[in-house]
């Protein structure tokens, strides 16, 4: 009997959670890069990227239509 691993399924779940968190971080990083490329400053881009309820295309379209980045961030957040 292996006493160091009494509940192997718990460790498997932790690995899955870590994998999912890593994927979420990758998505947020990509979203932030796209928002900075569009014209948002890094802080606003990070805030917007972290919010799943903020539509990336809408955020970029606001800037493309002439909305200043600071105002667009206020509208979206």
The residue extents of the domains of the chain are: 52-77
In this model, does residue 77 exceed pLDDT 70? yes
In this model, does residue 27 exceed pLDDT 60? yes
* pLDDT value of residue 5: 53
* pLDDT value of residue 50: 97
In this model, does residue 59 exceed pLDDT 60? yes
Give the separation between CA 27 and CA 67, rounded to whole angstroms.
Answer: 25
* pLDDT value of residue 15: 72
Mean predicted lDDT score pLDDT of the chain: 87
* pLDDT value of residue 69: 98
52, 28 contact by CB (below 8 A)? no
């Amino acid at each position: 009997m292996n006493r160091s691993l009494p509940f192997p399924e718990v460790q498997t779940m932790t690995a899955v959670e870590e994998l999912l968190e890593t994927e979420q971080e990758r998505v947020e990083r990509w979203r932030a890069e796209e928002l900075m490329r569009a014209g948002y400053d890094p802080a606003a881009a990070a805030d917007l990227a972290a919010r799943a309820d903020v539509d990336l295309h809408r955020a970029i379209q606001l800037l493309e239509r002439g909305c200043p980045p600071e105002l667009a961030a206020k509208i979206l957040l």
